[in-house]
């Protein structure tokens, strides 16, 4: 038997009587053509999840009966990525892969070299992309999403809430490499990558002055999404090591 199809139930609705509504109900009933008695997985993005038996299938609602319920605890090590706002195609790719690699949070910030204007709040489509990725990979938790206003100074202020802060800077004078050991400490760690055009000297200076440690991923200049995913892969290595 393969892995049951997964569906998202918003946290405020993840309670008895359990049901899929809206687009999730439509996808279950009309696209996948599920029938009463079939087994599915449902999760709420905050760690609660379980296996459910379909009780009834309606046009706008699919009623579920829990077979087993679980809760995935908050990880001890939580890696957050602050990425300079960027083009939608690469941003969507990054959001999908960030879920697969276990990002705890994603912050976008308006850098001086950002192409386009960052919205004041995360878009619903971004959250939908996170949910789709979680359904595919079996994640029980979704990364938090935020848009940080105020450019580098605003990001520096936001970063004060994180015990460990790293600046992934492409400047050739940066010699300290980011390693899995840097990301293996319990608590929340924030790693910042610039936009497609990189950081300005003023932005980097602002973040370094705020306690962000300049680090490098090597001599190659990486696209922002490549750098961000490389950081998350290092974090995954740290988690696997224990």
Give the chain's mean pLDDT.
Answer: 94
Mean pLDDT of 21-39: 95
Report the alpha-carbon distance of residue 226 to residue 220 in Å, rounded: 11
pLDDT digits (tens, 9 = 90+) for 48-63: 999 999 999 988 999 9
pLDDT digits (tens, 9 = 90+) for 142-164: 999 999 999 999 999 999 999 99
Residue among 204, 81, 228 at smallest CA distance from 148: 81
What pLDDT, on the 0 to 100 scale, is given for residue 241? 64
**pTM (predicted TM-score):** 0.94
Domains and CATH numbers, the chain: 6-71 (2.40.240.20), 77-241 (3.40.1280.10)
If one counts every other C-beta atom within 10 angstroms of the C-beta of residue 223, the result is 13
Look at residue 161 and give its three-state secondary structure.
Answer: coil
């Amino acid at each position: 038997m393969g892995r049951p199809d997964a569906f998202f139930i918003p946290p405020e609705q993840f309670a008895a009587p359990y049901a899929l509504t809206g687009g999730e109900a439509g996808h279950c009933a009309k696209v996948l053509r599920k029938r009463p008695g079939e087994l599915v997985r449902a999760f709420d993005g905050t760690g609660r999840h379980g296996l459910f038996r379909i009780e009834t299938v309606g046009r706008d609602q699919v009623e579920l009966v829990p077979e087993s319920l679980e809760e995935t605890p908050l990880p001890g090590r939580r890696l957050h990525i602050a990425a300079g706002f960027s083009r939608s195609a690469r941003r969507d790719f990054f959001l999908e892969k960030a879920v697969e690699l276990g990002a705890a949070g994603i912050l976008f910030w308006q850098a001086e070299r950002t192409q386009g204007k960052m919205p004041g709040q995360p878009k619903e489509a971004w959250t939908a992309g996170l949910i789709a990725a979680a359904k595919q990979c079996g994640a029980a938790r979704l990364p938090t999403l935020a848009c940080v206003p105020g450019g580098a100074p605003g990001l520096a202020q936001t970063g004060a809430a994180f015990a460990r802060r790293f600046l992934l800077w492409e400047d050739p004078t940066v010699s300290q490499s980011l390693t899995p050991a840097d990301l293996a400490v319990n608590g929340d760690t924030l790693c910042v990558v610039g936009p497609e055009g990189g950081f300005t000297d003023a932005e980097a200076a602002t973040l370094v002055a705020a306690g962000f440690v300049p680090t490098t991923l090597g001599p190659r200049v990486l696209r922002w999404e490549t750098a961000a995913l490389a950081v998350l892969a290092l974090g995954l290595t740290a988690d696997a090591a224990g």
